[in-house]
Amino acid sequence: MTAPIKINHVAIVVEDVDVALKFWHEALGLPLQHVEHNEDELVNIAFLPLGEGEVELIAPFTPESGVAKYLAKKGAGLHHLCLEVEDIDAALTQLKERGAELITEQPKVRPDGTRYGFVHPKSTGGVLLELYEKALTSS
């Protein structure tokens, strides 16, 4: 496995993206790239670029969402840290071989082609960890 390349994003779970944007975008001044309605994860996500990474605000739009369950149990706040890797298949395989508990055995794919998976907080010292393999972009 190649080591992670960089921090891709920090995700913050919120009850309502529009309300949270009043602070993160309007008061703090982070630029808003876009808001995505993600049917696979049952969340709305606001993407706020910052340096080489971004802050993501995630809010469930249905109580069946895993994020809704997280919000009900733990409240709003830091949800996960995302590290970018070159080869997510190799990264997940190596982590599993080394005893890490994976939430995502096989990578999922975002609409933009980015592949991702999650590592359980039990394996990381209490932090939900997401791994991203960015989609190849054509020039």
Domain locations along the chain: 6-133
CA distance 39 to 91: 26
CA distance 97 to 101: 10
Cα dihedral 76, 130, 108, 133, rounded to 10, equals 140
Closest CA to 41 of 5, 79, 93, 86: 79
Residue 135 has what pLDDT? 86
Specify the pTM.
Answer: 0.89
pLDDT per residue rounded down to tens, the chain (139 residues): 568 999 999 999 999 999 999 999 999 999 999 999 999 889 999 999 999 999 999 999 999 999 999 999 999 999 999 999 999 999 999 999 999 999 999 999 988 899 999 999 999 999 999 999 998 764 4
Residue 60 has what pLDDT? 97
Residue 139 has what pLDDT? 44
Q: Which CATH superfamily does the domain covering 6-133 fall into?
A: 2,3-Dihydroxybiphenyl 1,2-Dioxygenase, domain 1 (3.10.180.10)
**Helix (H, G, I), strand (E, B), or coil: what is residue 87?**
coil
Residue 2 has what pLDDT? 67
